[in-house]
Amino acid sequence: MWDKIEHNGYEVWVLPIPAYGPPAPDTLWHYSAYICRHGAQAHIAGQSIRFEELVATFPSEEAAREAGYVEGKRRVDGIHEGALKRGYQAT
């Protein structure tokens, strides 16, 4: 199930994905994720930034979710830092 957090005016959505087969006690996990502005229609091109980790594995669904949040926050912070370097005020 998709879960989200909010970070610096953006939403970070993460979906943990089993690395193989149905979930079992020792299943490894990946994630798919995206960031978007509040109220964006994320399915429309240009309104979200999608990313995933399908190579590295995580030992639990929660670890994959947390890794997605960390990467999403890093990307959002990069957007803000880039805007500030170009002379724009981050909103």
Task: Mean pLDDT check: name the lowest of 23-27, 31-35, 63-67, 73-77.
Answer: 23-27
Task: Mean pLDDT check: name the lowest of 32-36, 38-42, 81-85.
Answer: 81-85
What is the value of pTM for the model shown?
Answer: 0.83
Query: How many domains in the chain?
Result: 1
Q: Which domain holds residue 27?
A: 3-85
Query: Which tokens go with 60?
Result: 């639990």
In a domain, 20, yes or no: yes
Cα(68)–Cα(91) distance, integer angstroms: 23
In a domain, 52, yes or no: yes
Please give the pLDDT value at position 59. 95
Nearest Cα neighbor of 7 from 29, 34, 30 is: 34
Amino acid, single-letter form, for residue 67: A
Residues 44-85: tens digit of each pLDDT: 888 899 999 999 999 999 999 999 999 999 999 998 766 545
In a domain, 37, yes or no: yes
Please give the pLDDT value at position 91. 41
In a domain, 90, yes or no: no
Q: Which residue has the higher pLDDT, 83 or 18?
A: 18
